[in-house]
Structure 1
C-alpha cells in the first residue's frame, strides 16, 4: 500500500506520516482475512472499551516516555511534566500550555478545531474522490437528518484527522453559544486513510457526536466528532447554552486516533487558500488548533 503524505503548513514541505500501529492497520484493512476480524470484534465498541481500559492502567504509564521519544513530541508544550501522568490515557488526552497553541485574533477568522491533518471543501455536496477516486461524501448519512443536510449542502466542510501522536483535545472554531450534544451511535472502524481508502463511509457509519454552535456572524456552525477504533471516549467538557470564545476547549478523545468535522452555512465562510489548494489535490494540510482555516465571507 502507498504511504500517507501530507503538506505541513509549518514547514512548507510534503511529509510522510509515521503511522502508529501501521502494521495492524494494513493487515486489518488490506489482508483478505482482515474483514473477518473487523466485523467480528475490531469494529465493536467492546473492543475499543477493552483497549481503552488497558491504556488507563497504572502499568500503561511505562509507555509514555518511549512514545514521546519515538514521535518527537515536545514536553515543553505540556501543561504537566511527562512523569505526572498516572496512565498512558491521561498522557494521551493531556492539556497543553495556552501559549503552545495561540488562537488567531482576527475577529473575522475561523480556526482549526484540532491539531491534525485537514481537508477543506468549499461545497460539502460536491465532495468526491476523497482518499481514493469514486468515493462520494454522504452528508445526509453523516448528519442523520436529510433536511439538515439539504440546508448545509452548499456550505464549506472541513475534515480534521487526528493521529494517535497528536494533541487530542478539540476546540470551538468560532465564538458562539453551543447546544447540547447529540450522539449518533454506530460501530468504531479506523478513520486512518489506510481504512478510508477502502471505505470512506466509515466517517458516517461510526459513532459520532453533533453540536450546533450559534454564532454572531456565521449563522449556525455544525461541530462533529467521529469515533474510531480504540477511541474509548468522546468527552465533552463545555457547558451547553453558555457562551464560548473562539478556540475554547470543547472536549477530548480518549485513546485512539479520530476526526472532527466542521460544517458551515452556505456563503458564510471562505476557506484559506492553502487548505483549498491541497485538498483539491487530495493532499491533507497539517496545521494546529487555533491557526486560521478560513474567514467570514
Structure 2
C-alpha cells in the first residue's frame, strides 16, 4: 500500500513516507502487531508519556533533524528554530499571517490531506473494511446525529510535518467543546484502511457546533491519535468568530479534523470530490477554499 496524494496547486501526485512507517505497517497490517502491540500503543498512557517528553527543554535537539528530514519551510513560522523552548513548542508553532491567506467561500480548517464525501453513506463504500460508520456513534448524540444525517463529511488528515493549529472554516458562533473520551489509534491511511470506524468512533475526540447564517450548524471535530498528547482549545465559546480565526492546536503527532456540513448548503469543490472518488487524498492548506 502506497500513501499517495495530489498537490492541489501543481496537480502532481506525491508519495508520503510517514515517520515510523515500518512500525505502522506492523501494527495495522501484521497479525502479530494487531494482537500483541496495538492494544498497548492505542492506550492513553503511551501518548501522554511521549507528549511529556516532547515538552522537556532537551527535546529542542530533535527540531533541526525533524525539519530537515521532512523538508519543513521554516520561513513561514513566526519564530526561528533557535527561539523554540521545546519540540512541542515548535510542533504547534504559529505561522506568519501572510503564509496562509484566507480565501473566499468555505475554507479548509488546516493544512493536510483531504477526503470529501457529499453523502455520509459514501464513506462506507470508500472504507469497506470493519463495521459501518454511524454519526450517532461518532458524535455520541442521537438527536445531533439525526440533524446531520443529510450532511456532507469532510476529513482533513494532518501528518507530523504539517502545521498543527486549526481554524474555523466559516464565520459564525461556536459552542463549547463536547469531549468524548477514547483511545489513541493512528489516523494514518494504514490504520484507516484496516478499520475506519474503529479509528473515528473509538479515538478521543471533541467537537463544537458552529452556528452560521448561510450554512446552518456546522460540526467541527478535532480527533486525537497515537502520540497526540493533547487537543488544546484556544477560542472563546458563544462569541462570534470570523472565518480563519484560530480554534485550537494539537500537541505532538498526526491527527484529524472532521467537518459535517448540510449538503444542500455547501457545494464542495469538484477537484476534491473527484480525487476522493479516485481514492486519493488532496493536499490543501489552511485558508484555501474547499467549497462554495
Q: Same fold (TM over 0.5)?
A: yes
Q: Distance in 1 between matches of 2:251 and 2:286?
A: 18
Q: Please name the residue that 1:221 is paired with.
A: 218
Contact 1:151 1:265 in 2 (8 A): no
Q: Please name the residue that 1:111 is paired with.
A: 107
Q: Does 2:244 match 1:274?
A: no
Q: Does 2:252 match 1:260?
A: no
Within the candidate set 149, 157, 161, 2:145 is matched to: 149
Q: Please name the residue that 2:168 is paired with.
A: 172
Within the candidate set 268, 286, 290, 1:289 is matched to: 286
Contact 1:113 1:172 in 2 (8 A): yes
Q: CA deviation at 1:188?
A: 0.7
Contact 2:130 2:195 in 1 (8 A): no
Q: What's the CA shift string for 1:250-288, capped at 9, x where partnerless?
A: 000000100000101241101001111111122111010
Contact 2:227 2:252 in 1 (8 A): yes
Contact 1:125 1:154 in 2 (8 A): no
Q: Does 2:195 match 1:196?
A: no
Contact 1:125 1:153 in 2 (8 A): no
Q: CA deviation at 1:30?
A: 2.1
Residue aligned with 2:220, SS: strand
Q: CA deviation at 1:135?
A: 6.5
Q: Which runs of 5 or more structure 1 residues have no equivalent in the other structure?
A: none
Q: Does 2:22 match 1:23?
A: yes
Q: Residues 46-85 of structure 1: matches in 2 within 5 Å?
A: 46-85=45-84
Q: CA deviation at 1:132?
A: 5.0
Q: What's the CA shift string for 1:215-237, capped at 9, x where partnerless?
A: 12111110001011110110000
Q: Which runs of 5 or more structure 2 residues have no equivalent in the other structure?
A: none
Give the number of equivalent residue pairs: 290
Contact 2:4 2:15 in 1 (8 A): yes
Q: Distance in 1 between matches of 2:137 and 2:120?
A: 13
Contact 1:130 1:136 in 2 (8 A): no
Q: CA deviation at 1:131?
A: 4.7
Residue aligned with 2:143, SS: helix
Q: Does 2:244 match 1:247?
A: yes
CA root-mean-square deviation: 1.3
Residue aligned with 1:270, SS: coil
Q: What's the CA shift string for 1:124-153, capped at 9, x where partnerless?
A: 233223355676432221111222222212
Q: Distance in 2 between matches of 1:3 and 1:57?
A: 34
Q: Does 2:155 match 1:159?
A: yes
Q: What's the CA shift string for 1:39-95, capped at 9, x where partnerless?
A: 1x2111111000101111111111111111111111110010011111111110000
Residue aligned with 2:126, SS: coil
Q: Distance in 1 between matches of 2:163 and 2:171?
A: 21
